[in-house]
Every structure is written in C-alpha cells, then in structure tokens.
Amino acid sequence: MKNTAIYPGTFDPVTFGHIDIIKRALEIFDKLYVAVASNTNKKPIFSADERKGFIQRATRNWKGVTVETFDGLIVDYAAKKGTQVMIRGMRATSDFDYEFQMALTNRKLNKDIQTVFLIPSEQNFYLSSSLIREVARLGGKIRDFVPAYIEGQLIERLRGDH
C-alpha cells in the first residue's frame, strides 16, 4: 500500500495544527490512518475513544481518513495496516531532536518504515496540545486553537465538571 500513511499521536486534544497536518497528508496520500495512542505515559485528559471521536468529527466529510486507536508500538500497527509511511508534524526546531530520535528508533524497529515530516501552516505552526491545555487551565481563550466542540469539553474537564 504505497499510497497509504499513518499519522500517529496522542491528540489530547486534537488541535487545528493536527487537522492541518491531516489535510496536508491527504494531498499526498489517498488513504490516511489517524492512529490515536491508547496507552500513553502522557496521562491524557480525554480517553482514547473521546480523542478518536473528536478527530472523526473534524474529518467526517473527508474521503480517505480512518481514525482508530492503537496499543503498543506504532511500527507494529503500521505493519498490521500494510503501510510503510508514517506522518509526523514538525513545528519548530525544538521538535526536531525528539522527532528525529523517534524516526530513527522506528526505522531500527522496522527498516521498511519511512517517516515523512509535514509542517503546518503559519497560523498553526506554534500550536501544541500541552500549550492549549495550559492556556485553558489558566482561563485563557482557546477558540482559535481547537474546534468549538472541543473547547467546551476541555474547559469542563479541566475544571473537574465531568
């Protein structure tokens, strides 16, 4: 499946930056699996199923996107899906060290896996889920960073209203 790729992540929550990367990947690949990590040491605010639902809602009218959760190594998930291309978003040079290390580790685990780095548009370049969670936690407005249906749920979750 040469025209298939995987975009893995925690997506807690999915941001306009993530959505931008999904759009860009669909300009290159016919089929894109957005793989939501279930077991993560990042202690996500939203469950894997909630995060999966957020992405499904954001991409519901886009042809070629499948959103799934996964456990374990992403290279094993890629092999199961029959693809050899992994998409990673690259924001600033601060991402480079981590992303480079991860790409090389994945290649060592499965020599057939290729990592493709995509850069979001300028208006989404600085966005990260952790930054958005912090802004929301401190009472800042996040409507320019995440879809409206996520904004309310994130604020509610951070206040402990769930």
Point out the residues that are catalytic: 18, 42, 91, 129
CA gap 8, 124 in Å, rounded:
18
CB atoms within 10 A of CB 56: 16
Instruction: Please provide residue 135's backbone torsions phi and psi, each rounded to the nearest 5 degrees.
Output: -60, -45
Residue 9 has what DSSP assignment?
E
CA distances to 35, 50, 77, 134 from 156, rounded to whole Å, are 25, 14, 33, 14
Q: What tokens were used for 145?
A: 């960073």
